[in-house]
Amino acid sequence: MVNILCTTGRIRTEALKTNMGQELFGIARNKRWSLNGMTALVTGGTRGIGYSIIEELAEFGAIIHTCSRNQTELNERLKEWENKGYKVTGSVCDLSSREQREKLMETVSSNFQGKLNILVNNAGVSVGKVILEVDDEDMSYIRRNNFESTYNMSQLAHPLLKASGNGNIIFISSVSSSIALPVVSLYGAYKAAINQLTKNFACEWAKDNIRVNTVAPWLIRTHMIKPLEEYPAGREFLNSLLSRTPICRTGEPEEVSSLVAFLCLPAASYITGQIIYIDGGITVNAGGFDPTQI
Ligand SMILES: NC(=O)c1ccc[n+]([C@@H]2O[C@H](COP(=O)([O-])OP(=O)(O)OC[C@H]3O[C@@H](n4cnc5c(N)ncnc54)[C@H](OP(=O)(O)O)[C@@H]3O)[C@@H](O)[C@H]2O)c1
């Protein structure tokens, strides 16, 4: 038996000498790696990354509410999840509307008796345009859908997250928040704003037992990047981006949802205010390293 100096460590070491101790340690470990009975709101869960986050959280035992703008697609997903035995409800909401956000949070509060453990601000949209083509409408569209909605949803969720005694916010940002990429100047700028929010929210709400973290993906195979795959110039552009990515491929939604779930677990209880890139290594490759030449 290893002699551990720290008091709690020694107690654990002594306890592990007995079967009962091993059983208790097992229970404690299971609790640290479970979301059993925890409540979650995942925005934009009908497709892509949001869909995968719902499945991951549900597998860990969470009870989830989601939203999107398309009733038919939402109903199809809810039926699928019901068949899989997941506890997922949903409502139609356009997150760019303050009135609809407020209505959504009322529904969530009523479903979950005023307590919410997890808010995943996932829904987002993009506009692909060079700087001189961006107009006022694009500015308003990206600001309302990607920034105002996320900020305000977090404000509206605050009383519920606080009431749970163990709250978590996950923002979904993007690699475009930290490196210059063609045609996404506006999108990248608002994602960068979300990175900054992570730090402010984490510091201001730590006293309320709310942790706040951001996950920033690179190219993930969803509807959002599908248009690129559909025409030769798009595919060429995609390939040129991937050729500079150390792991030379796009990511899968499941490779994002696993980190989101981890950050919500009690096992991650000391992590807050962090921006974590899921990027196949692109953000650490300043361009001098060509993975295809090795
Ligand atoms: N895929 C990538 O390569 C990538 C990379 C970096 C970051 N991200 C970020 O990851 C998040 C998810 O993206 P994704 O690739 O999974 O996109 P996606 O496949 O297009 O899915 C987006 C989801 O959000 C919903 N949504 C969009 N706007 C909404 C609104 N105003 N109100 C309510 N629901 C809305 C969509 O449903 P409806 O359209 O039916 O409303 C859908 O369920 C976004 O924040 C995105 O910026 C994606």
CA 163 to ligand 1 centroid distance, Å: 28
C-alpha–C-alpha distance, residues 204 and 14, integer Å: 40
Exactly one of 86, 187, 190, 277 is catalytic; name it: 187
Question: Which pLDDT score is estimated for 175?
Answer: 98
Residue 220 burial (CB < 10 Å; 0-12/13-18/19+)? buried
Tokens standing for residue 145: 């859908």
Q: Write down the pLDDT at residue 10.
A: 43
277 counts as catalytic: no
Nearest CA to ligand 1 atom 42: 44
Question: 10-residue block means of pLDDT along the chain (294 residues)?
Answer: 38 57 74 97 98 98 98 98 98 98 98 98 96 98 98 99 98 97 96 98 98 98 91 91 94 98 98 98 83 72
**Integer Rg of the chain from CA:** 21
Q: What angle do CA 60, 65, 67 make, to 5 degrees?
A: 130
Greatest Cα pair distance, the chain, in angstroms, is 70
Closest CA to 255 of 211, 221, 227, 285: 221
- Structure confidence at residue 229 (pLDDT): 87
Distances (CA, A) of 197 to 70, 109, 170, 235, 259: 28, 24, 11, 34, 19
pLDDT of residue 289: 75
The Cα-based distances of 266 to 164, 204, 232 in angstroms read 13, 20, 46
What residue's CA is closest to ligand 1, atom 7? 174
- Phi/psi of residue 90, nearest 5 degrees: -160, 155
Answer yes or no: is the C-beta of 90 below 6 A from any ligand 1 atom. Answer: no
42 in Cβ contact with 64 (< 8 Å): yes
Measured CA to CA, the distance from residue 87 to residue 81 in angstroms comes to 7
Q: For residues 90 and 77, what is the distance between their CA atoms, to the nearest angstrom?
A: 9
The alpha carbon of 46 and the centre of ligand 1 are apart by a number of angstroms equal to 9
Ligand 1 centroid from CA 159, angstroms: 26
The neighbouring-strand residues paired with 172 are 215
Which pLDDT score, from 0 to 100, does residue 291 have?
76
CA 89 to chain centre: 18
Distance of CA 255 to the CA centre of its chain: 11
Q: Cα(210) to centroid of ligand 1, in Å?
A: 24
Residue showing tokens 């779930």? 261
DSSP code for 174? -
Which residue's CA is the closest to the ligand 1 atom numbered 45?
124
Three-state DSSP class for 127?
A: coil
